[in-house]
Amino acid sequence: MTGDLSPIDKAKFVAAKRAADLVESGMRVGLGTGSTAAWLVRCLGEMVRQEGLKFKGVPTSTRTAALAREVGIEVVSLDEARWLDLTIDGADEFDGDLNLIKGGGGALLQEKIVATASDQMVVIADIGKEVETLGAFPLPCEVIPFGWQTTKALVEETLIQMDVLGRNTTLRMNGDAPFVTDEGNYILDCHLKRIGNPRQLAMVLNQMPGVVENGLFIDICDIVVIGFGDGRVELRDINAGTVEEERLDFVESDNLFSDLAD
């Protein structure tokens, strides 16, 4: 149970639990992908079963869709929902302006489409994801398989002109084969170390033939919910300019904590 969770998992759980309270019956909600988002889906499933919460969830990956259905959440496509009240997702990094790097789980394209089709995007993360400058986490770029090596060379050449510390890119692998996204594309991970101008880099990368989307989320996130290993939660709203702090009690629940896959 919660006593067996690591401090990082406790932080992820309390962030997800606090963000789940933002979901109201009747909403259409984007459901993110990754380990922290999996906690969110579990928390929301518990609220559906025990509190009668009724909402429609739009998953950002096949993994999230499967988990949402498993815990009793009504799943619909973005085309069915058309527009969302809220999207809640994790992040690999976020800075003081709530700019993000996402895509560590390989779902950045669907995640960005869903997030930008929402009235509000909320990021849930443990405190370790906050950085002064983006770039320590490799920046994912989703590329079409055709000519991916040429695209990789073009990306590396373009990075010479960018305000970054590193220019090495690697093809993400799944064992001995390239990792393939839900949309049938590949991912290049750009090891940049520091990104001096995220907005410029995002625009330049997306102008490149072969690049479908990049993992920089600029001016998309509205709120970040940060979890700490001792149960503290901090909610920062960049639009309102407010910061709220509270402490959540850990809830013992076999349904919530059993068989949770990252």
72 labelled binding-site residue? no
What does the alpha-carbon distance between residue 185 and residue 106 come to, in Å, rounded to a whole number? Answer: 10
30 labelled binding-site residue? no
33 labelled binding-site residue? yes
Active-site choice (46, 93, 111, 142): 111
Is 111 among the catalytic positions?
yes
89 labelled binding-site residue? yes
| C-beta separation of 48 from 24 below 8 A | no
What does the alpha-carbon distance between residue 119 and residue 222 come to, in Å, rounded to a whole number? Answer: 9
34 labelled binding-site residue? yes
| C-beta separation of 262 from 35 below 8 A | yes
38 labelled binding-site residue? no
102 labelled binding-site residue? yes
Residues shown for the chain: 262
Query: Residue 79 belongs to what H/E stretch?
Result: helix 78-81
| Residue type at position 254 | D
H-only helix segments in 103-237: 108-116, 148-159, 198-206
103 labelled binding-site residue? yes
Burial 92-127 (b: 16+ CB within 10 A, else e): bbbbeebbbbbbbbbbbbbbbebbebbebbbbbbbe
User: Which residues are catalytically annotated?
Assistant: 111
Binding site for substrate: which residues? 33-36, 89-92, 102-105, 129
Binding site: which residues? 33-36, 89-92, 102-105, 129
